[in-house]
Amino acid sequence: MEAVRYVFIDESGDLGRYGNRYFTLACLMTNDTKRINRIIKKVRERKLKKNMKELSEVKAANSDERIRRYVLSEIRNTDCEIFLLVVDKNKVLSKLFDAQNRLYNYLCSLLVRQIKIDVNKLILIIDKKHTNTTLRQDFDTYIRKRLLEGRPGLNLEIYQKISESSNELQVVDFVAWAVNRRFNSNDDSYYAIIKPKIKNEADMLIWK
């Protein structure tokens, strides 16, 4: 059977000219999606109050400290690797804010190029940002080109999913939130939980 790695990407913050200073992209890579999927299932079954069990999506920003720490601790106990990209928007050229879609694609490419791929097949799932088919295709084409550079034998599949339909993307939301909280709120208590899983800590902050 062909060895496969699954990569899930989500973000925290925004690429607008104003708002919070830092924008974060988080990538979680694993070969055991069932274990990642079960984290959110357990939250729904055991952690949410009865009147909240039917929420369409479990998000870090809307969760309490107990759930946040539970999810992040469960991530730490899985067989996964985390790669991060943190952008200081104060260092971004002003004109780039006028082309946010291209900027986002470029940042995602910087992130995925840091992934150490040791298999022949990679399945990349990212939170679906656009309803516009052209913008989605532009993203897929750009990321495919960058990921395949120097990896001609890589079998790459890219899917853009609504996070409500993906427990794995909801898990990565907690990672991105924890990292963004460290930079935007100077609170590294959540970040510290997942720090052992981060593989590119020295290179995650760009445009320093």
Over residues 190-195, mean pLDDT: 98
**Cα distances (Å, whole numbers) of residue 169 to 59, 90, 149, 173:** 10, 28, 26, 6
pLDDT of residue 54: 65
Supply the pLDDT for residue 56: 76
pLDDT the model gives residue 208: 60
pLDDT in tens, 76-115: 999 999 999 999 999 998 888 888 999 999 999 999 999 9
How many Å apart are CA 116 and CA 110, to the nearest integer? 13
Residue 53: the pLDDT is 62
- Asked if 57 and 177 count as a contact pair (C-beta separation under 8 A), the reply is no
Give tens-digit pLDDT for 118-140. Answer: 899 999 999 988 888 999 999 99
Instruction: For residue 139, count CB atoms less than 10 angstroms from its CB and return exposed for 0-12, middle for 13-18, buried for 19 or more.
Output: buried
* Res 195: pLDDT: 98
Which residues lie across from 8 on neighbouring strands? 28, 125
pLDDT digits (tens, 9 = 90+) for 41-77: 999 888 887 656 667 789 999 999 999 999 999 999 9
DSSP state at residue 96: G
**Ramachandran bin of 90, using left for φ above 0, alpha for ψ from -120 to 50, beta for the remaining angles:** alpha
CA pair distance 84, 198, nearest whole angstrom: 8
- Is there a contact between 139 and 174 (Cβ–Cβ < 8 Å)? no
pLDDT score at 50: 65
14-43: pLDDT as tens digits: 998 888 999 999 999 999 999 999 999 999
Instruction: Dihedral sign for Cα 180, 183, 185, 187, please.
Output: positive
pLDDT of residue 130: 81
CA distance 66 to 47: 8
Domains of the chain: 4-206 (3.30.420.10)
pLDDT for 197 equals 98
Burial code (b: 16+ CB inside 10 Å, e: under 16) for 153-184 equals eeebebebeebeebbbbbbbbbbbbbbbbbbb
Q: Would you tell me how many other CB atoms lie within 10 Å of the CB of residue 42?
A: 13
Identify the pLDDT of residue 34. 96
Q: What is the distance between the alpha carbons of residues 99 and 108, in angstroms, rounded to a whole number?
A: 14
Contact 88, 22 (CB under 8 A): yes
- Give the residue among 110, 98, 83 at the shortest CA–CA distance from 16: 98
